[in-house]
Amino acid sequence: MSSSKVALVTGGNKGIGFAIVRAMCKDFAGDVYLTARDVGRGTAAVDSLRKEGLAPLFHRLDITDPDSVRSARDFFTEKYGGLDVLVNNAGIAFKMADTTPFGIQAEVTLKTNFFATRDMCNVFLPIIKPGGRMVNVSSVMGSVALSRCSPELQARFRSDDITEEELDGLMERFVRDAQEGVHAERGWPSTAYGVSKTGLTTLTRILARNLTKERPGDDILCNACCPGWVRTDMAGPNATKSPDEGAVTPVYLALLSPGAKEPHGQFVSEKKVQPW
């Protein structure tokens, strides 16, 4: 078993994920795994970073496939005895001009951005080592979507006693309401991406609360962040930040110094804790 520290980044073959891997290779004292669902694209991304003199490793991981997630967990458990840093970056978004029916957009977007990321967290959290860091790449769009929810929904997403089960139920309800075309009258905003990130930030707060309760001495810090508006396939060419600039806050949270107590369970943007 390797005694190296180890970090895993999901959705690492392009965009912000790729830039996070690049920065981690420079600043993290340990092995850095670029993961992606497509082996060809993932290994090509690793090769291009190796040409820069960096040394990332590749592991195939499709976060929407439970077998792939479990198999990755087993790999890191057997090879490293767990994981020191997990950056959940993989995500999807429909383009504004996409004419796919909103109910389908809601189902597809939440499947990856919320439910699959939740499964990653739940499968990997038990193997996160003491002093470990978990970072969920969320979005300010989740905060915007939250502000456009009904007061009742806002109160639940912001509450300090919401459970993962209740949150799952709310996310399932959004998909159902969207499919039935009644989401607006039931207090939801018309953004599947935004709601998926409202869910992810809320999930992060719940997981952090559970860690504090269940593993109080382990000093694991778990946070959500917004990378900003970044020039990627997702956001398009007019965005204001380069991918490397977008990686700054996620990497800051991934590398919070040993013994740090905060931030924990926070939504962070430009390296600053934001109100939720």
Residue 127 lies in a domain: yes
Residue 31 lies in a domain: yes
CATH of the domain at 35: 3.40.50.720
Query: Is the CA virtual torsion 239, 157, 184, 170 positive or negative?
Result: positive
Residue 101 lies in a domain: no
> How many domains would you assign to the chain?
1
Residue 186 lies in a domain: no
- pLDDT surpassing 80 at residue 272: yes
Give residue 101's pLDDT: 97
| Residue range 165-216, pLDDT digits in tens | 999 999 999 999 999 999 999 999 999 999 999 999 999 999 999 999 999 9
Residue 162 lies in a domain: no
Length of the chain: 276
Amino acid at 7: A
- pLDDT surpassing 90 at residue 232: no
Give residue 241's pLDDT: 94
- pLDDT surpassing 90 at residue 233: no
Residue 119 lies in a domain: yes
| Residue range 128-160, pLDDT digits in tens | 999 999 999 999 999 999 999 999 999 999 999
> What's the first-to-final CA gap in the chain, in angstroms?
41
Pair of tokens at residue 96: 């504004």
How sure is the predictor about 240, in pLDDT bands with cuts at 50, 70 and 90? Answer: confident
Is-catalytic flag, 193? yes
- Domain span at residue 16? 6-93+114-139+196-273
**What is the three-class DSSP state of 75?**
helix
DSSP β-ladder status, 267-269 and 272-274 = antiparallel
Catalytic residue among 33, 80, 193, 252: 193
Residue 257 lies in a domain: yes
Residue 99 lies in a domain: no
% pLDDT > 90, the chain:
93
Average pLDDT value for the chain = 96
Q: Which residue has the tokens 């396939």?
A: 233
Nearest to 145, CA basis, from 115, 105, 102, 190: 190
Nearest to 37, CA basis, from 13, 55, 67: 13
Least confident residue range of 24-33, 162-171, 231-240: 231-240
